[in-house]
Structure 1
Amino acid sequence: MPHPRFPEIDGQRGFATTSQLLAAGWTYSALSHLVATTGSRVLPRVYLPHQSHVAVDDITVAGWLWAGHDTALTGTRALARHGLALTAFSPITRFLTRRNGRNRETIHGMELRRTRRAPRASVRDDIAVAPVERALVDAARYKEASARDITGWTIAALQRRLTTLDRLDAEVTASGWIGLGAVTDGCAAFRRGAWSLPEATLGTLVAEDPRFPRMLPNPRLEDESGVLIGRPDGYFEEEGVVVQVHSRAFHDGEAPDGRDRWNATVQADNRYTAVGLAVIGVTPTALAESPTRFLDELAATLVTHRGRAPKGVRVVLDAPPGDKSG
């Protein structure tokens, strides 16, 4: 039984829906024969002309075709399409719709959720996705990842200007706050000056220990001529002590100019020591697993360097993160 030509539709990764195939001259009996012979039905109403392995990202595109072009991908899968590097994904791929019907439909790891507040979607990698702030809130609401991960992703999204404090605050308020503590924690950490979750952990540990004076988060350090020395993760101004959280998760791979990011990060500490600043480094693992040891070492370093800050270093503080930025 010869099949009509399977249509090649831009942006659909080789998939076609039932309605698209019928419009291309297929019949229901021809579709049944396709599935029984050389093709496959990946999801209800979504077909491929072959039975080869389908990549996970392509399955997400198929999920959007199943959900409908008037829907938007949300949660962790949407965050990844916005460019956030995630450490965990939900086993459920969620789409939002304003269509009337059951509150939720699920099939083969896909879920279609009804919402009264349909987000303004944008197409990324062949799928309409919810804005970053809505995707973060939905990831928290549906417990798609740990609270720690979601807090870190919130900070990263703000630091990269993928969203703003204003938009996140508005989304959290509209969503009702319940279950969204990880998002609000990330917003609070960013307001305090943290650019990543390990930096937020560092700031909290130092702030809660009475041995320490105020630590400046991510200040701009310049020499007397106004030339940038660096932006350390933390800085004790009176002591001239720099704290650096060295994480391969944030500094691995190659930079656009081909340099090794990790090597460049470690070598950059030499700029501080060259002008007389003391540098103490710590890893995210040490902050999480042995914070007491690190804090004791930091306290001892501050005692040693108290009153010894070099005079040729100037601190330039940024304005507090504004809700209008981004």
Structure 2
Amino acid sequence: MIEDQSGLATTEQLRAHGWTADAIRHRRGRTIQRVYPGVYAPHLGPLDIDARLMAAYLWAGESAVLTGRVALDRHGLTLDVLGTCVFLVPSTRRSRQISGIRTVRTDQPITVARHHEGVPVTSVARALCDAAIHQGLAGQRLEAVTISALQHRLTHSALLADELSSHRRREVGAIRSGLDLFTKGAWSLPEAALARVLEADPTLPRFVLNTSLWTVDQVRIGCPDAYFPDSGVAVQVHSRAHHSGLDADGLDRWTATVEKDARLVEHGVIVVPITPRSIERRPDQVVHRLKQAVAVNAGRDMSHVLLHKP
């Protein structure tokens, strides 16, 4: 079989290596299996995820580039459902579809951001838009994936804005809102919800989102989800999804969360913890609680805590 194709080959490749149509028919079901029309594996056993993706790519054709939900997954973003493998193809090709695979024609240049096990994958920005337009990724889920992609630096605000300029369709609206929220300082969907709640109340004093706090001698104190500098009150959104289990380095996330809050307290910052459920179900109570904390601590000398590195 052909190198860098997980042992797979197309009918054309087999013919180029001397296989006749009769030989392919004779071996099919005996020593080789047809994975998709025109794509064969050199065994009869199951294929792993990467091999099946390669088979989908071979069916889509040499000029195809993976996009949409599966592309986002290959970039490292988490989605509940991946669905169909969607491949972009030049406008000179025709759109095709079989079970689990679809090709979509495009007049726009097709960017290859990386290769995953030999399969070309488009940029995160393009994959987000295609997942919205062609695969129904929408609403808060799309907004959350957008913020996560930006927060983990899998794409950049300018790149995403440029990609969005090519898509005027309403399906990408949640990407625009996710980009807007991230630009304002929200690094996750719960933080975005917090930002909306705070911005909706004009009586709240000045606050900043996800801004690093520093000491006068250039020591970083922390980066609370929201901070009221005139009273030294910080807001931290603590969710089970983001603060339980182990991180990529094997460290306990909850321990790290407690220690981060403790560093803020050590420097005189009042930490108000809230949960995503409270923001969603009791936003008025959240705002009332913050107003009380800000009022009680108004006028404190917080000159030792700076919003910018000195």
TM-score by length of 1: 0.87
- Does residue 1:70 correspond to 2:63, yes or no? yes
- Cα 1:60–1:208 change in 2 (3 A) is same
User: 1:256 Cα deviation (Å)?
Assistant: 5.4
Structure 2: gaps of 5 or more residues: none
Matches within 5 A, 1:266-281: 266-281=258-273
1:229 aligned counterpart, secondary structure: strand
Aligned residues: CA RMSD: 2.2
User: 1:72 Cα deviation (Å)?
Assistant: 0.5
1:11 aligned counterpart, secondary structure: coil
TM-score by length of 2: 0.91
Q: Is the 8 A contact 2:64 2:89 kept in 1?
A: yes
Q: Is the 8 A contact 2:69 2:79 kept in 1?
A: no
- Does residue 1:120 correspond to 2:111, yes or no? yes
Match of 1:234 among 226, 229, 236: 226
- Does residue 1:208 correspond to 2:200, yes or no? yes
Percent of aligned pairs with the same amino acid: 38
2:166 aligned counterpart, secondary structure: helix
Q: 2 CA distance for matches of 1:241 and 1:143?
A: 42
Q: Is the 8 A contact 1:140 1:147 kept in 2?
A: no
- Cα 1:101–1:68 change in 2 (3 A) is closer
- Cα 1:87–1:266 change in 2 (3 A) is farther
Q: Is the 8 A contact 1:76 1:144 kept in 2?
A: no
Q: Is the 8 A contact 1:43 1:108 kept in 2?
A: no
Match of 2:47 among 31, 35, 54: 54
- Cα 1:71–1:317 change in 2 (3 A) is farther
Q: Is the 8 A contact 1:224 1:312 kept in 2?
A: yes
2:148 maps to what in 1? 156
1:134 aligned counterpart, secondary structure: helix
In structure 2, what residue type is equivalent to 1:115? T
Q: 1 CA distance for matches of 2:32 and 2:65?
A: 27
Matches within 5 A, 1:53-202: 53-84=46-77, 86-102=78-94, 104-121=95-112, 122-202=114-194
User: 1:187 Cα deviation (Å)?
Assistant: 1.4
Match of 1:30 among 11, 23, 45: 23
Q: 1 CA distance for matches of 2:53 and 2:216?
A: 54
- Cα 1:147–1:317 change in 2 (3 A) is farther
Q: Is the 8 A contact 2:214 2:309 kept in 1?
A: no
Q: 1 CA distance for matches of 2:40 and 2:282?
A: 53
